[in-house]
Amino acid sequence: MHLSSLLLCCALSLGALVKCAAGSEWCYNGCEYTPSHWADIPGVFCGENRQSPIDIVTANVQTDPQLLNFNFLNFSSQHVFKSIKNNGHTVKCILEDNEVEVSGGGLDGTYSIIQFHFHWGITELHPGSEHMIDGHRYPMEMHIVSLKKGLSEQNATDDSEGIAVLGFFINATDDGDMSGPWNEFISSLPQKDKEVDINATISIDDLIGNVNLTKFYRYKGSLTTPSCNETVVWTVFQEPINIHKQLVQMFPIMAGFINVYRPTQPLNGRDVFASPGTPLPPSHSWCYEDEPCEYKPSHWHLLPHSECGGKSQSPINIETRETVSDEHLDAFTYTKFDDKHAIMHITNTGHSVKCVLKEDTVEVSGGGLGYVYSTLQFHFHWGSENSDGSEHKVDSKRYPMEMHIVNKRKDLTLEKALETPNGLAVLGFLIEAKDAHNSNSERETHPTSDIDPWKKLTSYISAIRNISSEVHVTDGISIDDLLGSVNRVEYYRYNGSLTTPSCNEAVVWTVFKESVKVDENLMMMFPTLAGYHNVYRPTQSLHNRIIYTTTSASSAPVPTILLLLACLCAFSYNLHL
Ligand SMILES: *[C@@H]1O[C@H](CO)[C@@H](O)[C@H](O)[C@H]1NC(C)=O
Ligand SMILES: *[C@@H]1O[C@H](CO)[C@@H](O)[C@H](O)[C@H]1NC(C)=O
Ligand SMILES: *[C@@H]1O[C@H](CO)[C@@H](O)[C@H](O)[C@H]1NC(C)=O
Ligand SMILES: *[C@@H]1O[C@H](CO)[C@@H](O)[C@H](O)[C@H]1NC(C)=O
Ligand SMILES: [Zn+2]
Ligand SMILES: [Zn+2]
């Protein structure tokens, strides 16, 4: 017998077939080899790089469209449970050979299920699931263990995907069935070192209950007990099995031991994926001041890869008396700002409402920028029903809203642009309420559009009330329509950053002096329909930066020149500022 298979058999979890001859004893507590010392056991893999369990940080999880539905064979059969064994580390239900299978769910082929077992703590006072979700540990976890069909236990540990484990969290509830299949199952749990045949008529489906089996996470990891072989394709279902807390409490009592779970292990750069049906948070775990989350603006600098603590951050308060005139700040050239079909879709990012433009269509140049920039998207910052929410302030005045038109240097990829001091150019427009008595509309440059373009735009917000949802724009709305007659020649200029994490200091900022005027009721649609408010970052220190301003000489309107430039490149992007 090889050393590895000897250790594996000692170790556990897979089978009950081979009796363990000798080898190092491991445990969860009260012996030499507790989890932090498992790696010291000769011949094990517990100190390697793809270990399980892990904390699943949903903000870092990526959706994988390949993770389609599972196919389960004989999960509803009431004749597949063979025996239950208590090996001192867990209680394990051994299944009839070659009866129960799982395939699909993004697994590579069919896997034969051999057993399932449990991990627990001490009742709900000290939860004992192995995996965690965003730092939350459930009371228990069930592992359904399967081997790639045709492989022996030994061969399965030689294949990096030889074993598939289906992990289910178990949640303790105050109410629920006290006499159903879980009661029957727990009542038959044997004492330490005992094995009992099971004569109950229970199926795996009876235990899983109504957990949604299309919502799951996937990553590559290991067995969670020595030898910790790195041969496991993990599936962790998002929804827990809810069972009555009195039944959860029975587990340690029946089994005779507590706290049988391994602490979470480092991810070491591994990817964690989610099936398409699994709800994920809109982006990262950052938020604005009014929302509950781990990283509010004052803590954004602690986020991974964050530049939010840098010395050229945005937004800022623009002290107009301190600004310096710069005659190089000439007029902009706007390309396709009048294209009524350039807006592809509108999406609710969970932090803003963002209008994504067709690739390589809209452009901006001139304005002292020195480069041609491709317009990627525009989005909004707002306050609440009774407070203003622009990001930039002018002479300490905050405006009701702010619109950001985000542009990327055309000669750079987005990745490169984010690392280049002028890789991005953002045009910021402050937004104020239209004065109802002052018939401003006569000045509008597009009298042909009889419906207010802002009315058209805001009408889409009700279709994206769910975070991460998007809607295609079918009405003709151009950026020119939205900007109306606002003066686009007078502006402030400074070097700054993105105003959301990672706050890359890659932005040449333009803040226009005149505000865009929008009907107050339409402005209210943003906080009301999106469901969140005060989505703006507080102003940041200037740190010796100079704010430049267009000279008053250039304030005379300059005719708009439309310049059609060849589209040279195609990028995909999804940038929120
Ligand atoms: C498992 O499924 C197969 C195919 O449906 C069936 O023939 C067999 O009887 C099932 N086994 C058990 C134990 O239910
Ligand atoms: C877990 O159980 C608690 C207590 O009954 C309940 O409030 C909570 O919603 C449950 N969690 C899930 C994800 O079902
Ligand atoms: C939002 O999500 C819920 C639940 O998934 C769905 O029923 C509803 O139709 C969605 N609403 C919109 C506007 O998409
Ligand atoms: C922005 O920074 C660049 C150097 O990276 C400098 O040449 C330019 O003058 C700065 N512009 C402003 C408006 O401060
Ligand atoms: Zn396990
Ligand atoms: Zn913004």
Q: How confident is the model at residue 176 (pLDDT cuts 50, 70, 90)?
A: confident
* Average pLDDT over all residues of the chain: 87
Class of domain 3-274: alpha beta
Question: Following DSSP, what letter does each residue of 210-248 receive, concatenated?
Answer: T--TT-EEEEEE--SSTT--S-EEEEEESSPEEEEHHHH
Question: What is the number of the ligand 3 atom nearest to the C-alpha of 465?
Answer: 13
C-alpha distances (whole Å) from 115 to each of 69, 143, 163 are 22, 8, 12
Q: What is the CA radius of gyration of the chain?
A: 30
Quick check: CB of 235 below 6 Å from ligand 2? no
* pLDDT single digits (tens) 500-536: 998 999 999 999 999 999 999 999 999 999 889 999 9
Residue 533 makes CB contacts below 8 A (sequence gap 6+) with 290, 382, 383, 384, 385, 389, 527
Among 495, 504, 546, the mutation site with the greatest number of ligand 4 atoms within 8 A of its Cβ is 495
462 lines ligand 3 (CB under 6 A): no
Give nearest CA residue, ligand 2 atom 5. Answer: 173
Pocket test for ligand 2, best of 173, 239, 244 (most atoms within 8 A of CB): 173
Q: Which of 113, 103, 273, 247 is nearest to 187 (CA)?
A: 247
Judged against a pLDDT cut of 50, whether residue 322 lies above it is answered with yes
Q: Whose CA is nearest to atom 13 of ligand 3?
A: 463
Residue 242's contacts (CB-CB under 8 Å, 6 or more residues apart) are: 171, 173, 176, 209
Average pLDDT over residues 16-43: 75
Is position 301 annotated as part of the catalytic site?
Answer: no
The DSSP H or E segment spanning 511 is strand 507-512
Q: What is the 3-state secondary structure (H, E, C) of 92-117?
A: EEEECCCCCEEEECCCCCCEEEEEEE
Q: What superfamily would CATH give domain 301-551?
A: Alpha carbonic anhydrase (3.10.200.10)
Distance CA 360, CA 571 (A): 8
Find the 167 Cα to ligand 1 centroid distance in Å: 23
pLDDT of residue 123: 67
Q: Which atom of ligand 1 is nearest to the CA of 100?
A: 1
**125 falls in which pLDDT band (50, 70, 90)?**
confident
pTM of the model: 0.53
Q: What is the pLDDT of residue 437?
A: 55
Cα 359 to averaged position of ligand 6 atoms, centre (Å): 19
Beta pairing class for 132-133 and 140-148: unpaired
Q: Which atom of ligand 3 is nearest to the CA of 462?
A: 13
% the chain with pLDDT above 70: 88
Residue 481 has pLDDT above 80, yes or no: yes
Which residue's CA is minimally distant from atom 14 of ligand 1? 77
If we measure between CA atoms, which residue out of 376, 363, 328 comes closest to residue 563? 363
How remote is the CA of residue 211 from the centroid of ligand 2, in Å? 13
Among protein residues, the one with the nearest Cα to ligand 4's atom 6 is 495
What does the pLDDT look like over 420-447, one tens digit per residue? 999 999 999 999 998 765 544 444 444 4
Ligand 6 centre from 531 Cα, in Å?
18
Of 89, 379, 381, 533, catalytic: 89
Q: Is 176 in the pocket of ligand 2 (CB under 6 A)?
A: no
Instruction: Using alpha carbons, list the distances in angstroms from residue 532 to 86, 220, 382, 574.
Output: 51, 36, 9, 21
**Comparing 354-368, 458-472, 512-526, which segment has the lowest mean pLDDT?**
458-472
Nearest one of 37, 36, 45 to 3, comparing CA atoms: 45
**The two domains 3-274 and 301-551 share their CATH topology (first three levels equal):** yes
pLDDT of residue 11: 37
Contact 502, 305 (CB under 8 A): yes
For the chain, the distance separating the N- and C-terminal CA atoms, rounded to the nearest angstrom, is 60
Sign of the four-CA dihedral 317, 488, 379, 496? negative
Distance 466 CA to ligand 3 centre (A): 6
CA of 115 to the centre of ligand 5 (A): 10
* Ligand 2 site-directed mutation target among 171, 239, 243, 278, most atoms within 8 Å of CB: 171
- The structural domains of the chain, with segments of one domain joined by +, span 3-274, 301-551
Task: Give me the mean pLDDT over the 174-203 stretch.
Answer: 90
Residues 97-122: pLDDT tens digits? Answer: 999 999 999 999 999 999 999 999 98
Query: Which is it for strands 62-63 and 55-56: parallel, antiparallel or unpaired?
Result: unpaired
What average pLDDT score do residues 241-254 get?
Answer: 92
Q: Is the CB of 240 under 6 A from ligand 2?
A: yes
